[in-house]
Amino acid sequence: MSTPRLDRDPRPLTAGTAAARRTLPILLALALGTFAIGSGEFGSNGIVQLFARDFAVSVPEATWAITTYALGVVIGSPILTILAARLNRRTLLLGLVGLFLVGNLASAAATDLGMLTAARFVTGTVQGAYFGAGAVVAAHAYGPGREGKAFATVMAGLTAATIVGSPLGTYLGQRVGWQSLYLVVAVIGLAAGAAILARVPRSPALDGGPIVHELIALRRPMVWATIGVAALGISSIFAVYTFIGPYITDAARADESLIPVALAVFGVGMATGNWVGGRLADRYPYRGLVIGYGAVLGILALIALAGEHLLVLLPALFGVGATMMMAIPTIQVLLSGYGPQAPTLMGALNLASLNLANALGAVGGALALSLGWGALSTAWAGLALTAAGLILFALTVVRHPPVAIGRQRPAARDPAPRDPAPPNRQGEQQ
């Protein structure tokens, strides 16, 4: 009997050595795409002074290119996802990679800030849609009931970008020219597209659905409540990450050469938390979020009170990255539970909420600094925002859990093989 071709096989790839060999290339292809996306996003922050100088504008003006990218994620990605609702997720991923290439090549070719800003908006529309579609493909590869682990797998490329891609991209931009960052990111994106084309299966299980399913999900109050929980709670990442430079040079009075080390420590924490969170999200209803949000409150207070000491600051930076990223896969599982008919849109909205968190954290930290409370005061801003997110979680999600969580399978206490497979959450009605 002939072996079914990978690109035509509709079966989930759930267990066994042979299945793992078939699943791994799919997951690596998806993660390579998110690595490219994350390198371009975070790397842009490191070259903003360079293109500000070339375009003869101030740094605050130049940051509009960064802000517009976030608007592309928050506004453009959900719209793009809805419009592409009927597309097979594999086809959608390939189309998004093509748009990503156009956006980055246009960014590299920009001759003024207006052109760069427009190109970054186009590139931003790809991010949330790619993560949403990638999570659906990864969930198909893992099998039913592993949405949290699937989303964490897709997020792994983004966390790797904070450790490797962004610092190297910034270094390259400083040495060769800021345009080189976007050219290299485009090359990585092209490689990701080739890997997706070769490895992601052509499966009817990845077909899209009617646009009305996406719109129905948007009418559910608990979807928006969960987005609020994410935007408020995760903002403490950015209330810290955005101001790591001042933490090192102004608070700890260390040399600026230590800043890349601190960024890498933070990135390693994010990668660790993402790995742990993906495993918690599918086994326990709320544990990843409650532990993550609760633990970070203490870590943020430690930074604010004793962050001038490097032996305190560096482990605390790891802790903030780890605890906050631990919560994100749980948020994805919650959104999937509230909008089971629109899993791709739920992934896009999760990424949109993270970009809202980026804005909230940066604004909150800037407000604390403007009040003259010192460099470490941005941690207090993050603490207040995450506490608000935890309170909102208790008032909304805990009182109105998704149907899937309401009848959570006993996987946490029964590690026996899942045979027969549990019901697919995407088929459950909210």
CA–CA separation, 236 vs 232, rounded Å?
8
Which pLDDT does position 121 carry in this prediction? Answer: 93
Q: What is the pLDDT of residue 186?
A: 95
What pLDDT sits at residue 20?
54
* pLDDT for 316 beyond 80: yes
Closest Cα partner for 300 from 365, 392, 372?
A: 365
Q: CA torsion angle for 100, 322, 299, 247 (degrees, to 10)?
A: -50
- What pTM did the predictor assign? 0.73
Q: Is the pLDDT of residue 413 over 80?
A: no
Instruction: State yes or no: pLDDT of 13 exceeds 70.
Output: no
Left, alpha or beta for 374 (phi > 0: left; psi -120 to 50: alpha)? left
Count other Cβ atoms within 10 Å, centred on residue 171: 15
The span from the CA of 192 to the CA of 31, in Å, is 8
Mean pLDDT taken over the chain: 81
Regarding predicted confidence, which is higher, 167 or 305? 305
Question: Looking at residue 415, what is its pLDDT?
Answer: 41
The residue-averaged pLDDT of 154-165 equals 79
pLDDT band per the 50, 70, 90 thresholds, residue 214: confident
Compute the distance between CA of residue 281 and CA of residue 203 in angstroms, rounded to an integer.
26
Phi, psi of 401 (to 5 degrees): -70, 155
CA distance 175 to 167: 12
Helical ranges in 242-377 per DSSP H: 244-246, 259-281, 287-306, 310-338, 343-370
Place 336 in a pLDDT band, splitting at 50, 70 and 90: confident
CA proximity to 381, closest of 396, 371, 392, 395: 371
Rounded Cα distance, 252 and 248, in Å: 5
